[in-house]
């Protein structure tokens, strides 16, 4: 995670960002601290990366890299405003003893567009990450990478449209995908939770699950009810200040997946 010490909205690279709207950085920090405290309470370890003053979006740690089997695929950002974040995250991994690192050739925005399930990696494209980056990721990890096409600019990263709940269980917003990608998801995940548009609109799919607890924006009460029905324990958090940058729970969380022992 990356503390939003320098969080502000002074440029716009997604429809949620309005630089004319005031942002309360102290409130963003307080909300983020609550998310961090919750992870600790749930028994997870939280590592921190030092926030850089020139990169107000760096709080969205999910975008910084993707780690599968301890192998770190660095990020290469589409927008120049975030360009420096990729190298900063890669450096963090290098300094923390990760040995298999790949500095990417093609644009990919980390776990914003790569979501790791039990048997494959789901990969978003259409707004940020490129199709070439999906092939690059598959080659690097040696795991099947399945490309999905995003169509709604409000859901510009895959992690705003779909969340992995456990192994090969996912929940998603069908309306965020092309008909072909929707058909593919239906085939791969029959019976998956489909989020209502109203739940997607409060960033309900930008969730983090440990297989039992699902941490999601507290406004997504309908989705929380659907999760409860399936036996999950939804936990709502308030990250509304960070939503002004177009991100919530998952965006603030980069998952460290070690190599199998």
Residue 76 binds to ligand ARG (criterion: CB under 6 A): no
Backbone angles phi, psi at 190, to 5 degrees: -65, 140
> In this chain, which stretch among 25-33, 92-100, 153-161, 176-184 interacts with ligand ARG, using CB under 6 A?
153-161
251 carries an active-site annotation: yes
Is 161 or 185 the residue whose CB approaches ligand ARG more closely? 161
Residue 160 binds to ligand ARG (criterion: CB under 6 A): yes
User: Of 2, 157, 213, 252, which is the active-site residue?
Assistant: 157
Judged by CB under 6 A, the residue of 74, 104, 204, 247 near ligand ARG is 247
- Site residues for ligand ARG, 34-73, by CB under 6 A, read 57, 60, 62-63
> Residue 14 CB, nearest distance to ligand ARG (Å)?
4
- Site residues for ligand ARG, 100-119, by CB under 6 A, read 112
Residue 245 binds to ligand ARG (criterion: CB under 6 A): yes
Judged by CB under 6 A, the residue of 85, 136, 159, 241 near ligand ARG is 159
> In this chain, which stretch among 31-39, 45-53, 154-162, 220-228 interacts with ligand ARG, using CB under 6 A?
154-162
Residue 36, C-beta contacts closer than 8 angstroms, at least 6 positions apart: 1, 46
Is 85 or 136 the residue whose CB approaches ligand ARG more closely? 85
Residue 251 binds to ligand ARG (criterion: CB under 6 A): yes
> Residue 157 CB, nearest distance to ligand ARG (Å)?
4
Judged by CB under 6 A, the residue of 71, 125, 157, 244 near ligand ARG is 157
CB neighbour burial string for 55-85, b if at least 16 within 10 angstroms, e if fewer: bbbbbbbbbbbbbbeebbbbbbbbeebbeeb
Judged by CB under 6 A, the residue of 13, 115, 176, 214 near ligand ARG is 13
157 carries an active-site annotation: yes
Residue with tokens 């990969």: 123
Binding positions for ligand ARG, rule: CB under 6 A:
13-14, 17, 57, 60, 62-63, 82, 112, 157, 159-160, 245-247, 251
Annotated active-site positions, please? Answer: 157, 251
């Amino acid at each position: 995670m990356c503390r939003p010490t320098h969080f502000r909205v002074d440029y716009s690279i997604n429809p949620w960002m309005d630089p004319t709207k005031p942002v309360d950085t102290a409130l963003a920090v307080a909300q983020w601290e609550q998310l961090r405290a919750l992870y600790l309470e749930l028994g997870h370890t939280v590592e921190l990366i030092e926030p850089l003053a020139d990169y107000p979006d760096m709080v969205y740690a999910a975008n910084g890299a993707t780690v599968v089997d301890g192998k770190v695929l660095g990020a290469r950002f589409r927008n120049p405003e975030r360009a420096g974040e990729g190298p900063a995250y890669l450096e963090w991994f290098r300094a923390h003893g990760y040995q298999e690192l790949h500095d990417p050739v093609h644009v990919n925005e980390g776990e914003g567009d790569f979501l790791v399930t039990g048997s494959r990696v789901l990969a978003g494209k259409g707004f940020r990450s490129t199709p070439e980056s999906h092939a690059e990721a598959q080659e690097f990890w040696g795991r099947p990478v399945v490309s999905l096409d995003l169509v709604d600019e409000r859901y510009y990263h895959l992690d705003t449209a779909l969340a992995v709940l456990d192994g090969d269980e996912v929940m998603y917003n069908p309306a965020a995908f092309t008909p072909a990608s929707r058909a593919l998801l239906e085939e791969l995940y029959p019976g998956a939770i489909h989020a209502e548009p109203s739940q997607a609109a409060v960033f309900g799919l930008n969730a983090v699950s440990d297989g039992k607890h699902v941490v999601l924006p507290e406004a997504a009460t309908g989705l929380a009810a659907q999760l409860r029905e399936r036996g999950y324990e939804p936990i709502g958090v308030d990250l509304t200040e960070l939503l002004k940058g177009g991100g919530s729970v998952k965006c603030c969380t980069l998952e460290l997946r070690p190599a199998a022992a």
